[in-house]
Amino acid sequence: MTFREVFEKPQRSTARGAKESELARLAADPDSLAGRIGNTPLLRIRKCVPLRGDIELYAKAEWFNPGGSVKDRAALNMLLDAERSGALRRGKTIIDATSGNTGIAYAMLGALLGYRVKLALPANASPERKRTLAAYGAEILLTDPLTGTDGAQERVREIVGSDPHSYFYPDQYNNAANREAHERTTGPEILRQTGGRVTHFVAGLGTTGTFTGVARCLKAYSNSIRCIAVEPDSPLHGMEGLKHLASAAVPGIYEPALVDERVSVATEEAYGMTRRLASSEGLFVGVSSGAVLAACLRVAAAIPSGVIVTVFPDGGARYASERFWDNGTKGGTG
């Protein structure tokens, strides 16, 4: 597929069927909250990491979404898809398991549209995320932190199983609309913003929607684009939103055939890179951003030239109470 074909080929956007529902109309309106989801900046990373002159490194600044994270894209598309199919209608409560960001996106859109939202998340989620969910009016169910989001999913399934007619359960880990949001928005944005020059795409694995969706788009454009998946190096880690797939339930939307390379990152390395982004680049971001940056450096060290693009999923304000911010010096690596 040529670069021109990617952008001239009609795409089913999240605004398709704008007459179908209030959310569809809002998603098509650039003056609405929902209409501002997507089209985030692509920022060049220049100062905080040593790169040769023939290597370019860029990051999608997903905290520019109105709900503050990349998960706004998936939540919007899953709710739009559910309204189109009739799975979501007035009187139903939106319920799902989350580590925080997708839940915040559901809660924001639920408040906008008048849907009740109930969310199960591990009890060790940061206070900032819990308070944000409460501010939007979501009901929060805290689950065992040792079971992570897998335990939260089990809790949700129990609730929905006992009263299936009262709930709409998007099931973000197994919902194709999660992946499709990135295949139809994030991926094309990256191609447009790089002029089709991207050679390597690096993203963390959580629900796997971002990686899988963007990789599908980029591979359709050029199979020579390398797609690198990032995950924690152990089951017990401190990188919110990322999953150690070898020890966790593998999301149904994950497509391992799209992975050209895997990079495992240690928690302390991710912490150090996150601090470095703030102190040396002026980017106050979440820990998963530090993790993918560490992976980008390994990719850059192994290639003679290239244009590397990654995704910084959210901002650092949601993790401001975390103690790791105090553990390093300016520009340190941990």
Is 309 in contact with 282 (CB distance < 8 Å)? no
Residue 95: pLDDT over 50: yes
Task: Identify any residues that bridge with 209 across adjacent strands, giving them in sequence order.
Answer: none
**pLDDT tens-place string over residues 252-276:** 999 999 999 999 999 999 999 999 9
**pLDDT tens-place string over residues 163-195:** 999 999 999 999 999 999 999 999 999 999 999
State the number of CA atoms in the 13 A half-sphere of 78 facing the CB: 26
Strand-strand pairing, 306-312 and 55-61: parallel
Q: What is the pLDDT of residue 50?
A: 79
Task: Identify any residues that bridge with 307 across adjacent strands, giving them in sequence order.
Answer: 56
Identify the active-site residue in 71, 118, 219, 243.
71
259 and 302 fall within a common domain: yes
Q: Among 168, 189, 213, give the residue marking a domain's end.
A: 168
Range of the domain at 302: 3-64+176-326
Residue 15: pLDDT over 80: no
Q: What is the CA radius of gyration of the chain?
A: 19
Nearest to 194 by CA among 68, 60, 80, 69: 60
Identify the active-site residue in 69, 126, 288, 289.
288
206 and 318 fall within a common domain: yes
126 and 183 fall within a common domain: no
Q: Is 50 contained in some domain?
A: yes
Helix H or strand E encompassing 57: strand 55-61
Active site residue 21: no
50 and 181 fall within a common domain: yes
**pLDDT tens-place string over residues 204-262:** 999 999 999 999 999 999 999 999 999 999 998 989 889 999 999 999 999 999 999 99
Q: What is the pLDDT of residue 48?
A: 82
**pLDDT tens-place string over residues 33-90:** 999 999 999 999 998 877 888 999 999 999 999 999 999 999 999 999 999 999 999 9
Active site residue 243: no
Report the CATH number at residue 311.
3.40.50.1100
Residue 130 in tokens? 């819990």
Q: How many domains does the chain have?
A: 2
